[in-house]
Amino acid sequence: QVQLVESGGGLVQAGASLRLSCAASGRTFDTYGMGWFRQAPGKEREFVATISPGGRGTSYSDSVKGRFTISRDNAKNTAYLQMNSLKPEDTAVYYCAASLWLYSSSPSQYNYWGQGTQVTVSS
């Protein structure tokens, strides 16, 4: 069992930066690929970024590539999403997720999900 808790969301102006954190329970964090997804009202949950268990592999959606950076600190059981140059269209609830051994852009590949943190970007 893995419990994930997101933090770091908030209300910011366009062009600002935020860093989201995802704290995980347990001592097997380094066996999980981690992903960030987001969901806006009336829209499906969409892939944002993912990182491999050891942190050497990453992948991003085209909409955030060049602006967002996913990272992890396995010693702290924490994954991060650094978001720069935020746009109003980035407004959504952001979720972190964990997948045993895998890292993927598909929500169905993830076994555990956090409760989400709201990110709102004003124009």
Answer whether 92's CB lies under 8 Å from 44's CB.
Answer: no
pLDDT above 90 (res 27): no
pLDDT above 80 (res 78): yes
Beta bridge partners of 121: 12
pLDDT above 90 (res 39): yes
Q: What are phi and psi of 30, to 5 degrees?
A: -75, 5
User: Distance (Å, rounded) from C-alpha 57 to C-alpha 43?
Assistant: 28
Across 69-104, b (16+ Cβ under 10 Å) vs e yields bbebeeeebbbbbebeebeeebbbbbbbbbbeebbe
The tens digit of pLDDT for each residue in 96-112 reads: 999 998 888 999 999 99
Answer whether 80's CB lies under 8 Å from 19's CB.
Answer: yes
The tens digit of pLDDT for each residue in 67-76 reads: 999 999 999 9
Average pLDDT over residues 89-102: 95
